[in-house]
Copies of this chain bind each other. A is one copy, B any other.
Amino acid sequence: MPDRPRRIPEATVARLPLYYRALVEMAEQRTPTVSSERLAEMAGVNAAKVRKDFSYLGSYGTRGVGYDVEYLLFQISRELGLTQDWPVVIVGIGNLGAALANYRGFSARGFRIVALVDADPAKCGKEVGGLVVEPLADLPRIVAERDVAIGIIATPAAAAQEVAGLLVSAGVTSVLNFAPTVIAVPPGVSLRKVDLSIELQILSFYQQRRDEAAEGRRVAFGGLT
């Protein structure tokens, strides 16, 4: 048993998947070793950060050489829990839920979508991405029988909190929320959120700042209107 109780900073955890992706690519090209600099470039961060991040996992590199791609890939996979596969349920099969159900990137990383659930009886029974949509009432049974640990919420905002509650009482301990609302989960349950329009709003903020700055310069320098 390795010495587990190392504490890995959240910011580092959030970058591990980037390194993972870069390493998978290197492994596919049969590159035996990689430097922190090269890896940094591929992951879009800087080299010092890469090395510091890896130092939290352990000393897996060799000075003067770099990191062994296969070995590091294994260590990161293990750390991220990607050596096993995780049964996932998606609740809310609208446009977004259906797109997620069809998304190939999940299964590639060991996330296996085992059930699609929707409250709308009209949607139940339909097939989406190779699975039949099941009624919300069956959620507890589905989670228990198929050993689901991760739930994805892709419902409208109004239903999200209720669904989160159902997921948690059914036994799900990790929740990914796509609904544009804040939801609460009890301690001991992980929650992450993805909000599409928030990302656009952040872009809008900086975009507007640039536009204003440009406007300011144009006026200041007395350019033509």
Interface set of A (CB-CB < 8 Å, partner B): 4, 13-14, 16-18, 20-21, 42-44, 79-82, 84, 86, 88, 95-96, 98-100, 102-103, 105-106, 108-111, 149-150, 173-176, 180-182, 184, 188, 190, 192, 194-208, 210-212
Contacts and interface: CB of A to CB of B under 8 A. Distances in A.
Contact of A200 (B16, B111, B181, B197): B111
15 contacts: A14-B202, A79-B205, A81-B205, A95-B99, A98-B99, A105-B180, A105-B196, A106-B196, A108-B197, A109-B201, A111-B200, A150-B204, A150-B207, A174-B206, A194-B196
Q: By DSSP majority rule, is chain A's interface helix, strand, loop, or mixed?
A: helix
Contacts of A20: 201
Contacts of A199: 176, 192, 194
Contact of A204 (B82, B184, B200): B82
Nearest to A13: B205
A86 to B, nearest CB: 6
Contact of A192 (B88, B98, B176, B203): B203
A224 B200 CA distance: 51
Given A99-B98, A105-B180, A192 B202 contact: yes
Contacts of A13: 202, 205-206
